[in-house]
Structure 1
Amino acid sequence: MAWNVFKFCTALRALGSIMILVVIGIVGFTYYAVVVANYGPALLLGGFDSFVAILVVALFHFLLIMLLWSYFSVVVTDPGGVPPGWRPELDIEKNEGNQPVIAEANPAFSAGGSSAHGVRYCRKCNQYKPPRSHHCSVCGRCILKMDHHCVWVVNCVGAMNYKSFLLFLFYTFLETTMVAVSLFPIFLVFFTDGDEDITVSPGNLAATFVAFVLNIAFALSVLGFLIMHIMLVKRNTTTIEAYEKHTTPNWPFDLGRKKNFEQVFGRDKLYWFLPLYTEDDMKRLPALRGLDFTSRSEESEPLQSL
C-alpha cells in the first residue's frame, strides 16, 4: 500500500500561509529588480533604450497581472467538495447492476474502469464519494477530481480550480522566462573586466543578479511541472489517477484530446487563457463541476444504438 505523504503533515496548512508570503516576496523582489532598478529609469533615456524599456515594462506588468489573478484564483476558489447528502444515482439498497459498494481502502477501484459507475464510500467522511474524488488528509474532506494538495496555494487542486492552477503555471513560466531574458544583459555585467560601462549601482546590480538566478531556476522547474500537467490533460487524468493508473490498461475517461481539453478549459476559446468559465460552459460541461464525468463506454452507446 502506498505511503500517504500527508498523513502526518497537517502542519502544511500553516506552512501554506507562509508560502503565500514567500510568493509575494519573490514577486516584489523581482518587481524591484526589473522595474525600479533597471527598466523603469530607462524609460526616461529616450531613443531605442526607452522603446525597449516600454516593451519590457508593459509585458512584465501584463504577465504579472495574469499570474497573480490565476494564483489567487487557485487560493480562494473552493476546489469542489461533495455536496451534503450526495448519493449516487444507482439504487444503493437494491445494488442495481450488481455494482459493489467500495470503500476508501480499495485504491484499485478508484483507478479502475468500473469507477465510472460503481458506488464508492469514504469511511473518513462517512459519506458516498462521486467518481474521481479523493479524500485529502490535509483538508480533512473529499475533493472532487482531486489532483493534489499544493502548499504553495494553501489549497487542494481539484475540479473547480484546476484550470486556474494550470494557468498559474503557464503565466509563471512566461513571466520568469521574460524576466530572465530581460535581466541577462545586466547579469553579464558581473563578468566584465572594466568598470567604464557599468551604470548600475552595486546594490541594484546585486538585486539583479539574485533576481536573474531565482527566475531562471523557477522557469526551469515550472517548465517540468507544466509539461507533466499538459500530458495529464491530454489523457484526461489527474496526478493521483496517473499514480494509480498502472492497475488499468484502458483509462475510461480518455475521450480524445479535444474533449479532454474541454473538460478542463471549457469550449469558449475567449476564456481559455482566463482563470474562469462562462455560464454556458458550466451548464454544457458537467465535468467542470466535478460531479458527472462521461466515460468512453457512454460516448459509444449512442453510436451503437443507431
Structure 2
Amino acid sequence: MYRSGAVMAWNVFKFCTALRGLGSIMILLVLGVVGVTYYAVVLTNYGPALTEGGLESVTALVVLILFHCLLVMLLWSYFSVVFTDPGGVPPNWRPAVDEERGDADPLTGPEYGAVGADPANTGIRYCRKCNQLKPPRCHHCSVCGRCVLKMDHHCVWVVNCVGALNYKYFLLFLFYTLLETTLVTLSLLPHFIAFFSDEEIPGTPGTLATTFLAFVLNLAFALSVMGFSIMHISSVAANTTTIEAYEKKTTPKWRYDLGRKRNFEQVFGMDKGYWFIPAYSEEDLRRMPALQGLEYPSKPELDAQEF
C-alpha cells in the first residue's frame, strides 16, 4: 500500500515538472490566437470597410477603436501576470510577536510544524518542502517548487502562479479577455452567418477560413472566461482564494471576510484611478499591507477567538 502511494505521489510531481516545460509554448499559443483574431477583424473585415463610406465605415471605425483599446489592456494585463512574481516568502521570515498583548513566541506554539492545519487558525505553519515558516494564506506550489503568498492557483496560460502580487492583474486579464472576445464574437457573427448562406462572400478561401476560425475561438474563450470570471468575482466578494474556497467549507466563519467593499480593496486597492489598470498606486502600497501579501486584517471578534 505504501509503495503504491509513493508511486502515485511521484507521478503527480512528474506531471507538475512537465507543466514547467510548457513555458513559451503557452505564450506563443496566446499570441497565435491574438494574431488570428487580429487578421480576421482588422485586416480582413473591418479594416477594408473603412473605405466603403456611410454607416459601414462608421461601424468599422467604432469596432476597430474598441478592439484596439481592449487588446492593449488585455496584453498589458496578460504580460503583467506573466512577468510579475506572485510573491515568495522573504528569507528568514519570522512572524511578529505582540508583546503588549502578551502573545507568546509563535514558534513554540502547537501549530509550529503542523500539517493540514485549519485555514482559519492563526497558528504559524511550516512548509516541510521549503523548510521554512509559512505566512498566513501562503501555500506551496508543486509546479513552481516554492511557497507562494496568498496562492490562488498555478495557471498554465500565464506560465506562472497567481498569488498576492499578481492576482489583480489576472482578474483584469480575465475581464479584458471577456470584453475582447465578446466584441470579436459579435462583430464577426454576421460574417459567420454569411459563411453558411448561399450569398456570395468576398474574399479568398484563406481569409474566409481565418474569419471562421477566429469566430469559433473567440466564442469558445468568451464562454469559458465568463465561467472563470463569475467564480473569481465570488472569491473576491468573500475574500478567498481558489484554494481557500475549498478549505473553508469546513470553517463556519471566515476570519478574512471583511465585507464586499473592503474585500474588493484588498485586491484592487483603494485608489479608484488604478482599479482598471494592472498597477498599484504608491499610496496604496504604502498604506495597505495586504497588497504586499504578508499581513491581512481580519475580523476582531475572530482574532480574539481561540481555535
Structure 2 length-normalised TM: 0.90
- Between the aligned partners of 2:253 and 2:104, the Cα distance in structure 1 is 29
Are 1:143 and 2:153 counterparts?
no
- Between the aligned partners of 1:174 and 1:269, the Cα distance in structure 2 is 20
Are 1:34 and 2:10 counterparts?
no
Q: 1:185–1:10: structure 2 CA closer, same or farther, 3 Å change rule? A: same
- Between the aligned partners of 1:32 and 1:227, the Cα distance in structure 2 is 30
- Between the aligned partners of 2:142 and 2:275, the Cα distance in structure 1 is 31
1:272 to 275, 292, 298: 275
2:13 to 7, 12, 28: 7
- Between the aligned partners of 1:183 and 1:159, the Cα distance in structure 2 is 37
Q: Using the TM superposition, give the Cα deviation of residue 47 of structure 1 relative to its aligned residue in structure 2, in angstroms.
A: 1.5
SS in 1 for 2:21: helix
Are 1:215 and 2:233 counterparts?
no
Matching residue of 1:262: 265
Alignment of 1:73-112 (within 5 A): 73-90=80-97, 95=105, 99-103=109-113, 105-106=115-116, 108-109=117-118, 111=119
Identify the range of structure 1 (67-76 vs 238-247) with the bigger mean alpha-carbon deviation: 238-247
Q: Using the TM superposition, give the Cα deviation of residue 6 of structure 1 relative to its aligned residue in structure 2, in angstroms.
A: 5.6
Q: Deviations over 1:215-270 (max 9, x none)?
A: 00000000000000000000000000111112211000000000000000000111
User: One-letter code of the match for 1:55?
Assistant: V
Q: Deviations over 1:17-67 (max 9, x none)?
A: 211110000000100000001001111111111111111111100000000
Alignment of 1:159-178 (within 5 A): 159-178=164-183
8 Å contact kept, 2:181–2:219: yes
SS in 1 for 2:154: strand
Are 1:188 and 2:161 counterparts?
no
Matching residue of 1:133: 138
Q: Using the TM superposition, give the Cα deviation of residue 97 of structure 1 relative to its aligned residue in structure 2, in angstroms.
A: 11
1:154 to 131, 139, 159: 159
Q: 1:96–1:29: structure 2 CA closer, same or farther, 3 Å change rule? A: closer
Q: Deviations over 1:85-130 (max 9, x none)?
A: 1001138x95469842343622x42x2x223xx1111111111110
- Between the aligned partners of 1:64 and 1:49, the Cα distance in structure 2 is 22
SS in 1 for 2:126: strand
User: One-letter code of the match for 1:283?
Assistant: R
8 Å contact kept, 1:104–1:123: no
SS in 2 for 1:135: strand
SS in 2 for 1:7: helix
8 Å contact kept, 2:106–2:124: no
Matching residue of 2:241: 238
Q: Output the aligned Cα RMSD.
A: 2.3
- Between the aligned partners of 2:18 and 2:227, the Cα distance in structure 1 is 27
- Between the aligned partners of 2:107 and 2:85, the Cα distance in structure 1 is 34
User: One-letter code of the match for 2:191?
Assistant: I
8 Å contact kept, 2:115–2:125: no
- Between the aligned partners of 1:193 and 1:96, the Cα distance in structure 2 is 75
Q: 1:185–1:104: structure 2 CA closer, same or farther, 3 Å change rule? A: farther
Q: 1:90–1:101: structure 2 CA closer, same or farther, 3 Å change rule? A: farther
Which ranges of structure 1 fall in alignment gaps of 5 or more residues? 302-306
Q: Using the TM superposition, give the Cα deviation of residue 68 of structure 1 relative to its aligned residue in structure 2, in angstroms.
A: 0.2
Matching residue of 2:296: 293
Matching residue of 1:16: 23
Q: 1:254–1:67: structure 2 CA closer, same or farther, 3 Å change rule? A: same
8 Å contact kept, 1:6–1:138: no
User: One-letter code of the match for 1:40?
Assistant: G
Matching residue of 2:206: 203
Identify the range of structure 1 (43-52 vs 70-79) with the bigger mean alpha-carbon deviation: 43-52
**Percent of paired sites with the same residue:** 65
8 Å contact kept, 2:82–2:160: yes
Are 1:66 and 2:76 counterparts?
no
User: One-letter code of the match for 1:254?
Assistant: D
User: One-letter code of the match for 1:7?
Assistant: F
